[in-house]
A and B are shown apart, each in its own frame.
Chain A
Amino acid sequence: MRYAGILVMPAGFILTIAALLLFPAPAERLVFVLCGLAVEGLGLAVAARGMGRP
């Protein structure tokens, strides 16, 4: 679980970069960047749960 969470985080980053390239409109770009951050947050949460109390 911990490694899966950590590996999800770069996926969120790639989503953020995709937002820059795919959406020229500022509002859509911001929403998509936030989606990328949400994916990273999800990965962080999964990693944190996996590393928690044994």
Chain B
Amino acid sequence: MSNTLFALVFALLLVAPLALAGVALINTGLGRSRSAAQALLGSLAIMAVTAIVFALVGAGVAGLPGGPGLSFTAAGKAWNWLGAGPFLLRGLGAAPPRAQLALLFEFPAVAMAGLIAWGSGADRWRLIAGCAAAALLAAFVFPLLAHWIWAGGWLAALGVNFALGKGFLDPGGAATMHVLGGLTALAVVWIVGPRKGKFPKEGLSTAIPGHNAVYVLFGCMLSLVGWLAWNAAGAVIWLRAPLAALPATAINTLLCASGALAATFAVTRIRFGKPDASLCANGWLAGLVASSACAALATTGEALLAGVVAGIVTPLLVELFELALSIDDPSGAVAVHAVAGMWGLVAAGIFAPHAGQLTAQLVGIAALLGVALPLVYFLFALLNLALRFRVEPDGERIGMDLQELGGGAYPEFVVHRDESFR
């Protein structure tokens, strides 16, 4: 890797955390006003906890590209399933430049996975439990997947071992960040349960709209900057893309998000008579999530198509999950991150010009659903026994800000009676 390329990717990775800021703002805006400070402080705390735990433990479990790993042999093939890198980031300065950048890529990635789940537990998930869950994610679950996908693990080796394209490809972190984050969000929602009053004993679910659409929409704009940087950096690090390929990756990212927004705008306009701001934000984010998988692998037309599909499906799934499956997911993370991420991975398999790539992508998705979700659910269920996830009913009533922080985000605002607590 040339010095110029190293400097460029390093600079891009310094911009990538803007995507975290964007998602944190979106999560905060989609929650209630009486939990806003706790939501944003929680996002910051999760970024800090995941960084510390990943540096201490996770980076060793994940390993580095080309680094050592634990393997076993079955059916004549080597199955590299766990990294064996040094703990506490020892020897980082002597690592090859690409490995150092890969590690820098993974720090905000693990924070993103934690933030996604945090948004789904809004208004009832205790801060300390959220931080503990993020620590578990950063110590073991994320590193396991990062090793399989990015550090020469068995998913990355599907191409060499089974002639499946170039192996499982995830240049922007659609699987490790978004699908993992979305599935973790599903596990959290199952464990903490719905907000009080969300699903009355009779009738349809109660709408609990986000408290600040401006935060949500500004978060979408901020996310775009981070995503552009992240996808371009990922293309260089994980696909070894040349400099000349980066403008197309950035344009594809923008087109994917734009196509998704346009589609969600049209779907909500047709469905409700007027475009829905929070669902449009979900659509935009779903397009960005899909771009994480396919922006570096697709043509501009294909990227636009991937975005349009994500934008059509997302608002319908948000509604389906709430009405048919009683999933109270304030940030829509299950549809936006898990499903759109999986769609992006499938789209990458369809659009990539390598034979067998689609099968490799499907095997990766099967690993996420069949290993990551059960693992996260059981780990979090055990953690919930030791450190209760859900706040007391009275705490939920007065809001997470007063309950956990002792003060609200908007102290001079008049607090209105909440009809859902009748």
Enumerate chain A interface residues (CB-CB to B < 8 A).
2, 6-7, 9-14, 16-17, 20-21, 26, 29-30, 33-34, 36-37, 40-41, 44, 47-49, 51-53
Contact = CB atoms under 8 A, between A and B. Distances in A.
Contacts of B369: 9, 12-13, 37, 40-41, 44
The A interface is mostly helix, strand or loop, or mixed, namely helix
Residue from B190, B370, B373 having most chain A Cβ neighbours under 10 A: B370
A9 B199 contact: no
Contacts of B111: none
The B interface is mostly helix, strand or loop, or mixed, namely helix
A40 B199 CA distance: 27
A37 B373 CA distance: 14
B367 A13 contact: yes
Contact of B366 (A26, A30, A37, A52): A37
Nearest to A32: B359
A48 to B, nearest CB: 5
25 contacts: A6-B378, A9-B369, A9-B370, A9-B374, A12-B369, A13-B367, A14-B370, A16-B366, A16-B370, A20-B158, A21-B74, A21-B75, A26-B359, A29-B359, A33-B359, A33-B366, A40-B366, A40-B370, A44-B369, A47-B190, A48-B325, A48-B327, A49-B325, A52-B325, A52-B326
Nearest to B362: A33
A26 B165 CA distance: 11
B374 A53 contact: no
Nearest to A44: B369
A44 B199 CA distance: 21
Contacts of A48: 325, 327
Contact of A10 (B162, B363, B370): B370
Determine the interface band of chain B, counting residues with CB < 8 A from chain A: 20 to 34
Contacts of B371: 10, 13
Contact of A37 (B158, B325, B365): B365
Contacts of A34: 362
The 9 A-B residue pairs with the shortest CB-CB distance, nearest first, are A13-B370, A53-B326, A16-B366, A52-B326, A51-B190, A40-B369, A21-B75, A48-B325, A9-B370
Nearest to A2: B190
A20 B367 CA distance: 13
A33 B302 CA distance: 24
B374 to A, nearest CB: 5
Contacts of B162: 20
A53 B359 contact: no
Nearest to B367: A13
Nearest to B356: A26
Contacts of A52: 325-326
Given A48-B325, A48-B327, A9 B373 contact: yes
Contacts of B325: 48-49, 52
B363 A20 contact: yes
Contacts of A17: 363
A21 B366 CA distance: 15
Nearest to B191: A51
B358 interface: yes
B402 to A, nearest CB: 28
Given A7-B374, A21-B75, A52-B325, A13 B366 contact: yes
Contacts of B362: 16, 30, 33-34, 37
